[in-house]
Amino acid sequence: MLILGGRNIRGLAFDLEGTIINLEPVHHHAHLSIAKSVGLVLPELDQIGKIVTLLPHFIGGPREAIAQEIFELSNKKVSVADLVAADLAAYNQLLQDWTDFRPRDGFSDFLDEVFRQKDLTVAIGSLTPRGEARTVLKKSGLLDLINPNRIILREDVDKLKPHPDVFLTTAERMKIHPSEQLVFEDSPKGIAAAVAAGSLAIGMPIYDNEIVWKQLRDAGALTIFKNWNGVSLQNLTLNEGSSFKRRI
């Protein structure tokens, strides 16, 4: 039994891209390329803190929101709709050359531990469109591990993160109350969505950057882990009282 914050946790919901599979370099290079195409030169990814200050949706999206932010900072000669289309095209082109669809280090071990617990259920809550998500799920092997009925994607919800729809739906599919759900997310919008749903949330950022971590804390993350190697059911319980410290 997993108890956090005085709650009996019966289900774990994971965001997909970033949290489990690190496809952020593909997304982020696409965003940078379309920004450059309209005369907006952004810092490189090693200065992610500066980027997310300029483009708050850069981590976690959605693509439309990032395009809108780029549009506002650009010469406004290219429409938001055209920026969205260009971003998607750039992403798809970059994805063709991407070969690493493995889950982040340590995730598979943690998932195995969770599967061994008869009182815990697992779901995925992602705003990745179904077509894109299926490629990621299949190549990563997750499609064979998680009940398809508990894989919630963009087409399954009306409102996007930070609205709680996606995590209300994961809880519903796991047949638990949202307060019995623990969510793992890499983006502030995802953390906010989990909190809005009434669930506890843990930050799993890709970037080890203080600005990124602060955004996760401000959004309501219970605690933050640098990577999955530091995550276990026992570790979650032991670290409950020492939130916001960087985990190894």
Confidence of residue 17 (pLDDT cuts 50, 70, 90): very high
Beta strands, E only, 95-243: 121-125, 151-152, 181-185, 200-203, 223-224
Confidence of residue 239 (pLDDT cuts 50, 70, 90): low
Q: CA 204, CA 186: separation in Å to the nearest integer?
A: 5
Find out whether 176 and 198 touch, Cβ atoms under 8 Å. no
pTM, two decimal places? 0.89
136 three-class SS: helix
pLDDT of residue 46: 92
More confident residue, 106 or 244: 106
Q: The domain at 2-22+101-238 falls in which architecture?
A: 3-Layer(aba) Sandwich (3.40)
pLDDT of residue 245: 46
Identity (one letter) of the amino acid at 212?
Answer: V
Is the pLDDT at 189 greater than 60, yes or no? yes
- Residue extents of the structural domains in the chain: 2-22+101-238, 24-96
Mean pLDDT of the chain: 93
Is the pLDDT at 119 greater than 60, yes or no? yes
pLDDT single digits (tens) 150-164: 999 999 999 999 999
CB burial readout 10-39, b (16+ within 10 A) else e:
bbbbbbbbbbbbbbbebbbebbbbbbeebe
Q: Take residue 86 and report the two structure tokens written for it.
A: 């260009």
